[in-house]
Chain A
């Protein structure tokens, strides 16, 4: 008689059949313990749902930011004091300052500029009748409106007369107008900013909230008024010039942007006497760079959120392992019987592993629903349009399967290694 071979050479059909049997068996067992299976699955569902929802929200935030920067104006290059790109330093620290001299030099000598604007920003205490509000006040040049591509909705913007005459006129952002003049026309009203009376000459169109906060909670006054009247004390530089908070350069086209950025850097290196090895005390940022910088930040944030969500997936996996271990103990006699009637260790391993994988896979599928639903629930509440990405779904489901495999293999091995004699006698 020839030697016994097991498993016998079933061929492809046999193997496929066995896989189907294992799936049937494990589904059968799960159906027999519906509540337990559902609760275990739910642990995975929450993990997968959290991963998908948070990744979707992260992606939504990212595209929202990109869109925000694009709407800020085209071909804009900004110069700000301090280092903002490397994350170090305080951009508003005393060591970092841009002056009107810097602005004039840049505006006067840099090629490929369509227009320039500058602002100097402080905080003003606005009062009108009984209304009171703390508002960020920017002193700006008349060109600000066109360079930032941000128009007045009613009234007019600051003009050259206001600028030259250091007029006490103010253009309100929509939020400020709403706060101080609920239901009223603010034009020609006189508000007090830090107890100095200003006449309202216009209201800006709504820009909306951004990740930086409410963009409409601002007010604009002439730069000269800000530097020489309202914020006179803080506007002084050590050299006797006046400070500016930000210089805006509108360049002719995309191709000119790198040339402008390089030229501004070189010019300010000379003016600020910065040696080649020393760090800059200013930053030149174009929109592309801003988008990239914030994109990187939100990207890290998204990964971080995803990682936190992944922890809950891990906890769900521990739940699977726990329930599978209980199941192996409970079904010791069944395992013994299966071995007695001819199941190989591999068959037992496959059966229990399939159960664990099923729990995690079904949990993952339910989790997709939870995640997509959660993401859209967020979109109803917040101003963000979450983007549920196929890759995130694939990642979460793949990860949940891996969790099932990882946490299922130990209980399954334990089941497969049971001695049939002991298992059959187990009480």
Chain B
């Protein structure tokens, strides 16, 4: 497939959603959160789904993240038809194919960073030794090789989010879904996080989708999908993507992980 990388339509998309409809019932009133959303996202993309609150972007993210299922429409994740899966199968899909990064980090407090990162591997049935090794590698990849044993509550906001990113990538998923990942961070830490995402995308080819209302965040990506009132209103490539990282790309990381202190 590598030689066809430029020809998107001939590849299997990571996300292939056709006519997604999501309807909630609140009492007698039917609320249409999504009214027919079709979207394709391919491996290696760095994209953002942007819309104001109430636009349906959170609903779309929940469906794309297999936390929820559409009322109608077809959603294929990595070629797997997700609509027909039961709860346990959805849990397995989330475990293997999706990494979540949340606005509020959602780390286990009073738990060492490395154990936080290990969590998805526990549910994947990976053995203890291998788990430790992969979690260590993931933490090194996000520049926290010297913070393995630090408890989550002893880390700064930016570091906590990096632990969360390590947790998202540790199971080697097809897709990372980041929901306002810089929303709880100051602008400097936010830049660092965006830099990290860009670097992971560029170096490892990880597919990342941001869900945000913030155009500045979206501008760090290469493609912006706009959503309003439950419908896609725009889908455009970002011509002048903001590169968050000063050259070279990993300079910021080098500060966070001084050589020799990594355990």
Interface residues of A (CB under 8 A from B): 1, 3-8, 10, 14, 17-18, 21, 25, 28, 32, 333-334, 336-347, 420-421, 424
CB of B119 closer than 8 Å to a CB of A: yes
A-B CB pair tally, cutoff 8 Å: 83
Q: Could you give, for residues 21-40 of chain B, a 1 whenever the CB lies within 8 Å of some chain A CB and a 0 otherwise?
A: 00000000000000000000
Instruction: State A342–B167 Cα separation when bound (angstroms).
Output: 12
Known: A4-B80, A424-B102. A342 touches B92 (CB 8 A): yes
Which of A333, A337, A340 neighbours the largest number of chain B CB atoms within 10 Å of its CB? A340
Known: A1-B80, A21-B122, A420-B67. A341 touches B100 (CB 8 A): yes
Return 12 A-B CB contacts under 8 Å, by A number.
A1-B80, A8-B125, A337-B102, A339-B91, A340-B67, A341-B99, A341-B120, A341-B123, A343-B123, A344-B88, A346-B88, A420-B67
CB of B232 closer than 8 Å to a CB of A: no
For B96, the chain A residues whose CB sits under 8 A away are 342
Closest residue of chain B to A333 (Cβ to Cβ) is B106
For A21, the chain B residues whose CB sits under 8 A away are 122
Are the CB atoms of B62 and A421 closer together than 8 Å? yes
Known: A341-B120, A341-B123. A4 touches B65 (CB 8 A): no
Closest 7 CB pairs of A and B: A342-B95, A6-B92, A342-B123, A341-B120, A337-B106, A344-B91, A4-B89
Known: A420-B67, A424-B106. A340 touches B94 (CB 8 A): yes
Interface residues of B (CB under 8 A from A): 62, 65, 67-68, 79-80, 85, 87-89, 91-96, 99-100, 102, 104, 106, 108, 110-111, 119-120, 122-125, 127-128, 167, 171
Instruction: State A274–B79 Cα separation when bound (angstroms).
Output: 96
Interface of A: prevailing SS: helix
Instruction: State A347–B91 Cα separation when bound (angstroms).
Output: 10
For A10, the chain B residues whose CB sits under 8 A away are 125
Are the CB atoms of B91 and A343 closer together than 8 Å? yes
Instruction: State A343–B122 Cα separation when bound (angstroms).
Output: 9
Residue of A3, A25, A342 touching B91 (CB-CB under 8 A): A342
For B80, the chain A residues whose CB sits under 8 A away are 1, 4
Are the CB atoms of B87 and A344 closer together than 8 Å? yes
Known: A8-B125, A18-B125. A341 touches B119 (CB 8 A): yes
For A346, the chain B residues whose CB sits under 8 A away are 88
Instruction: State A334–B108 Cα separation when bound (angstroms).
Output: 7
Question: Closest CB-CB distance, B40 to chain A, in whole Å?
Answer: 18
Which of B79, B91, B93, B108 neighbours the largest number of chain A CB atoms within 10 Å of its CB? B91
Question: Closest CB-CB distance, B237 to chain A, in whole Å?
Answer: 30
For B85, the chain A residues whose CB sits under 8 A away are 4
For B108, the chain A residues whose CB sits under 8 A away are 334, 337
Are the CB atoms of A28 and B87 closer together than 8 Å? no
Question: Closest CB-CB distance, A40 to chain B, in whole Å?
Answer: 18
Are the CB atoms of B88 and A32 closer together than 8 Å? no
Are the CB atoms of B79 and A1 closer together than 8 Å? yes
For B104, the chain A residues whose CB sits under 8 A away are 333
Closest residue of chain A to B61 (Cβ to Cβ) is A421
For B91, the chain A residues whose CB sits under 8 A away are 6, 339, 342-345
Instruction: State A336–B105 Cα separation when bound (angstroms).
Output: 12
For A4, the chain B residues whose CB sits under 8 A away are 80, 85, 89, 92-93
For A337, the chain B residues whose CB sits under 8 A away are 102, 106, 108
For B93, the chain A residues whose CB sits under 8 A away are 4
Closest residue of chain A to B100 (Cβ to Cβ) is A340
Question: Closest CB-CB distance, B135 to chain A, in whole Å?
Answer: 13
For B110, the chain A residues whose CB sits under 8 A away are 32
Are the CB atoms of A342 and B125 closer together than 8 Å? no
Are the CB atoms of B67 and A338 closer together than 8 Å? no
For B94, the chain A residues whose CB sits under 8 A away are 339-342
For B67, the chain A residues whose CB sits under 8 A away are 339-340, 420-421
For B79, the chain A residues whose CB sits under 8 A away are 1
Instruction: State A346–B89 Cα separation when bound (angstroms).
Output: 12
For B65, the chain A residues whose CB sits under 8 A away are 340
Known: A339-B94, A341-B119, A421-B67. 17 other contacts (CB 8 A): A6-B92, A7-B88, A7-B92, A333-B104, A336-B106, A337-B102, A337-B108, A340-B67, A341-B95, A341-B100, A341-B120, A342-B91, A342-B92, A342-B94, A342-B120, A344-B88, A345-B87
Which of A4, A8, A344, A424 neighbours the largest number of chain B CB atoms within 10 Å of its CB? A4
Are the CB atoms of A338 and B119 closer together than 8 Å? yes
Instruction: State A364–B127 Cα separation when bound (angstroms).
Output: 32
Instruction: State A7–B68 Cα separation when bound (angstroms).
Output: 19
